[in-house]
Amino acid sequence: MYEQVSHSLLNDILNNLKTEISKQDLRHFYTRLGANFYAIHSLFERLYGHRDDFKTQALRLVETMARQYIQRPDVYKEIDIERENNHNWFLSQKWVGMALYSNGFAGDLNGVREHLGYFQELGVNLAHIMPIMRCPEGHSDGGYAVSNFREVDSRIGSMEDLSKLADEMRLRDILLVLDVVVNHTSNEHEWAQKARAGDPVYQNYYYTFENRNVPDMFEQSMPEIFPENSPGNFTWDEEMERWVMTVFNNFQWDLNYSNPAVFIEMLDIILYWANKGADILRLDAVAFLWKKIGSTCQNEREAHLILQLLKDCCQVTAPGVLFIAEAIVAPFEVAKYFGEDAVIAKECEIAYNATFMALLWDAMATKNAKLLNQGIKSLPVKLERATWLNYARCHDDIGLGFDDSDIQLAGYEPAQHRKFLLDYYTGKFSDSYARGLPFGHNEKNGDARISGSLASLVGLQHALDEGNPQSTEAAVGSILLLHSMILSFGGIPLLYYGDELGQLNDYSYQEDPNKAGDSRWVHRPTINWDKAENRNMPGTVEYKIFSALKRMISVRKEIDVFADFNNRTLIEVENPHLFVFERYSLIKPSEQVLVIANFDGKPQHLDLSTVGRWATNKHARLVDLYSGFTPDIFKKTLVVAGFGFYWLSEVA
């Protein structure tokens, strides 16, 4: 019955499509629309079915998909078909990513194009170029406050530069990842300007209120995201003479997705960037898409419906394009962004593994893997055709978002443990060489997060200041250890630009009034390419890190069991300093790799006779795939160097 409703609506819509659309060759489009329309209709109905203009909005939705399909360049249409035929292509271990700001990395988009050889030198074949859309001079939140969704920010280039970059990347088989900031716009965006000028159509693109009644109700249950710089979730706009919801900074206005016009605009923008050559779109702050009084306004059911609908519509127009969910939320919530109730991901194919990231930093600080082991157990199994983005650092702060119950199970008191981590990374703890900075300190509840470059957090800055070779070795070892984890865990590893060279904190942001209040800028570096030449000079820190990562990446690409098919088993061992897991093949049971990481600075031992099938093979020869060497084994006891790791396999 229900399907008939959706079919008859589809017929109506197709009959009503403007003639310039219906004249085109839309065979593939119609096939995909037919296949997805039932789902699209059901979702659109659930979100907007109560409205009088539902049918008109549904027509607009289909028109948007059709128009963007017509505009989609043939080269991308061919890639769509290739990827439909090989739909698990992105689960392969061959992908290794890097996230970067184009200006910090190489000046602008042309600079990035000129440095594509650098990615290939290192083995990176997926580049997340951080927000490139137009944003205000000052209040930009690093590009996440967009003032025009269809233009490239002139400070980093033009649409033509982007197009040249995308073409060149495609020729080199490097995937392009672009951001679409779906949750909010800058207050300088045209929609916000019109809302300010009093246009009710555009005021309804946002959540605006004439007095505090509704905002006060929301505030009772909404946490604060940037408590230091932008306390509260609403901002009074003088010009509009209304309160507007601003969950992040006060110049970032939250979009109102209960208005279907907003949904359709954003779908159009997503497809627009798909047509500009993005292979993957990173959807920013997706947990926040739906606001409900009485809730935290995060992870609401409707936020998931919106993402499912965006995905279904994208499948019709640009099916080769994947979504990354940027949802830095609790472990049991994050897996839902792959889609629920479905074998195949129906929301975002890829999600940031913030849980693993934060747990790795816990292990680095505590020098043991107790919480890491416990926390990974709470990480839900993901769907098929879905994968994690595994990272150690990114452009944002490190949030200590572990479950309190996991902290307790690991043997700590949650509040004290979080305080310890904060003190440790901000260098207040006597035993710590970390040079992090606090971020987002909330005076009301004592919460805070951590900024700092990877190298400075693991003590490289301290070691170099002291001129201490041993500490330098330990810091380099820690950098490699963290990367060995994101490269082997299962998922797409995402390096952060500069980390491959041991980039330290950059304090220059403190001189810039637009940045000074936001410590995340300390880890958004400008690469010094002369210094980066050191990567070719044996003995330098840059060389040690870069050459090791280069090797790690190329070895990863050869290890089939590192592809992500839910083929990992965590192995709990007695030695608390060690984190151990096994990667195996679903097709060839004889293929396995045992990954062992030592988070302590001193050598640790592992009794191999306690490690499942690795115990029984008395005569087998073990080899560490990364170094190519046989590891140190004394009787059945394996020795793992301080901050060392192994990717062990058996050779006949």
**Smallest gap from residue 493 Cβ to ligand GLC (A):** 16
| 3 state SS of 568 | strand
| By the rule CB under 6 A, 144 interacts with ligand GLC | yes
> Which residue, 252 or 649, is less far from ligand GLC as judged by CB?
252
| By the rule CB under 6 A, 224 interacts with ligand GLC | no
595 - beta bridge partners?
Answer: 581, 647
Query: Which region among 83-91, 160-168, 187-195, 420-428 touches ligand GLC (by CB under 6 A)?
Result: 83-91
Contacting residue, 29, 206, 234, 248, with ligand GLC by CB under 6 A: 248
**Smallest gap from residue 411 Cβ to ligand GLC (A):** 31
Sketch the per residue contact string, 310 through 329, with ligand GLC: x for CB under 6 A, - otherwise.
----------------x---
**Smallest gap from residue 294 Cβ to ligand GLC (A):** 23
Which among 593, 608, 568, 583 has a CA at the least distance from the CA of 650? 593
Which among 355, 351, 376, 330 has a CA at the least distance from the CA of 597? 376
How far is the C-alpha of 443 from the C-alpha of 428, rounded, in Å?
Answer: 18
Which among 193, 307, 320, 169 has a CA at the least distance from the CA of 244? 193
Query: Which region among 139-147, 189-197, 420-428, 573-581 touches ligand GLC (by CB under 6 A)?
Result: 139-147
> Which residue, 171 or 381, is less far from ligand GLC as judged by CB?
171
In this structure, how many other beta carbons lie within 10 angstroms of the beta carbon of residue 569? 11
> Which residue, 173 or 340, is less far from ligand GLC as judged by CB?
173
Contacting residue, 188, 284, 312, 499, with ligand GLC by CB under 6 A: 284
How far is the C-alpha of 29 from the C-alpha of 21, rounded, in Å?
Answer: 11
How far is the C-alpha of 392 from the C-alpha of 498, rounded, in Å?
Answer: 12
Residue nearest to ligand GLC (CB): 144
> Which residue, 86 or 470, is less far from ligand GLC as judged by CB?
86
Contacting residue, 22, 56, 86, 408, with ligand GLC by CB under 6 A: 86
Active site residue 284: yes
> Which residue, 44 or 144, is less far from ligand GLC as judged by CB?
144
**Smallest gap from residue 85 Cβ to ligand GLC (A):** 8
- In sequence order, which residues have a C-beta less than 8 Å from that of residue 1 and are 6 or more positions away? none
Query: Which region among 138-146, 377-385, 403-411, 587-595 touches ligand GLC (by CB under 6 A)?
Result: 138-146
| 3 state SS of 149 | strand
Contacting residue, 285, 376, 479, 501, with ligand GLC by CB under 6 A: 285
Residue type at 83 in one-letter notation: R
Helix, strand, coil shares of the chain as percentages rounded to 5?
A: 45, 15, 40
Contacting residue, 12, 78, 82, 167, with ligand GLC by CB under 6 A: 82
Hey, what are 37's tokens? 């329309």
Contacting residue, 137, 173, 333, 558, with ligand GLC by CB under 6 A: 173
> Which residue, 37 or 391, is less far from ligand GLC as judged by CB?
391
Query: Which region among 82-90, 112-120, 384-392, 498-506 touches ligand GLC (by CB under 6 A)?
Result: 82-90
| By the rule CB under 6 A, 79 interacts with ligand GLC | yes
| By the rule CB under 6 A, 349 interacts with ligand GLC | no
Active site residue 326: yes
Give the phi and the psi of residue 390 in degrees, each rounded to 5.
Answer: -100, 125
> Which residue, 314 or 371, is less far from ligand GLC as judged by CB?
314
* Alpha-helical segments (H) within 605-650: none
Kindly identify the residues of this chain, within the stretch 360-399, that bind ligand GLC according to CB under 6 A: 395-396
User: Terminus-to-terminus CA distance in the chain, angstroms?
Assistant: 61
- In sequence order, which residues have a C-beta less than 8 Å from that of residue 418 and are 6 or more positions away? 400, 407, 447
DSSP 451-500: E--HHHHTTHHHHHHHT-HHHHHHHHHHHHHHHHHHHHSSSEEEEETTGG
**Smallest gap from residue 574 Cβ to ligand GLC (A):** 39
496 - beta bridge partners?
Answer: 99
**Smallest gap from residue 109 Cβ to ligand GLC (A):** 20
**Smallest gap from residue 282 Cβ to ligand GLC (A):** 9
Contacting residue, 89, 272, 543, 565, with ligand GLC by CB under 6 A: 89
> Which residue, 71 or 86, is less far from ligand GLC as judged by CB?
86
Sketch the per residue contact string, 493 through 522, with ligand GLC: x for CB under 6 A, - otherwise.
------------------------------
Contacting residue, 7, 70, 77, 142, with ligand GLC by CB under 6 A: 142
CA 192 to chain centre: 27
| 3 state SS of 126 | strand
Quick one: residue 359, left, alpha or beta (phi over 0 = left, psi -120 to 50 = alpha)?
A: alpha
- In sequence order, which residues have a C-beta less than 8 Å from that of residue 109 and are 6 or more positions away? 102, 129, 132, 152, 156, 157, 158, 161, 162, 165
Quick one: residue 459, left, alpha or beta (phi over 0 = left, psi -120 to 50 = alpha)?
A: left
**Smallest gap from residue 260 Cβ to ligand GLC (A):** 23
- Selecting among 326, 396, 397, 500, the annotated active-site residue is 326
Interface size with ligand GLC, residues (CB under 6 A): 16
**Smallest gap from residue 433 Cβ to ligand GLC (A):** 27
Contacting residue, 141, 188, 542, 600, with ligand GLC by CB under 6 A: 141
Sketch the per residue contact string, 174 through 193, with ligand GLC: x for CB under 6 A, - otherwise.
-------x------------
647 - beta bridge partners?
Answer: 595
The answer to whether residues 497 and 525 touch, using CB atoms and an 8 Å cutoff, is yes
> Which residue, 32 or 60, is less far from ligand GLC as judged by CB?
32
> Which residue, 153 or 284, is less far from ligand GLC as judged by CB?
284
> Which residue, 278 or 421, is less far from ligand GLC as judged by CB?
278
**Smallest gap from residue 540 Cβ to ligand GLC (A):** 32
> Which residue, 395 or 568, is less far from ligand GLC as judged by CB?
395
- In sequence order, which residues have a C-beta less than 8 Å from that of residue 62 and are 6 or more positions away? 10, 13, 14, 17, 33
- Selecting among 254, 284, 397, 500, the annotated active-site residue is 284
Pairing, β 208-209 against β 242-245:
antiparallel
How far is the C-alpha of 47 from the C-alpha of 42, rounded, in Å?
Answer: 9
| By the rule CB under 6 A, 83 interacts with ligand GLC | yes
- In sequence order, which residues have a C-beta less than 8 Å from that of residue 304 and are 6 or more positions away? 336, 337, 339, 340, 347
- The radius of gyration of the chain from alpha carbons, rounded to an integer in Å, stands at 25
Give the phi and the psi of residue 124 in degrees, each rounded to 5.
Answer: -80, 130
**Smallest gap from residue 368 Cβ to ligand GLC (A):** 30
Would you say the C-alpha torsion 646, 647, 648, 652 has a positive or negative sign?
negative
Give the phi and the psi of residue 605 in degrees, each rounded to 5.
Answer: -120, 155
**Smallest gap from residue 362 Cβ to ligand GLC (A):** 21
Which residues are part of the catalytic machinery? 284, 326
Footprint of ligand GLC on this chain (CB under 6 A)? 79, 82-83, 86, 89, 141-142, 144, 173, 181, 248, 284-285, 326, 395-396
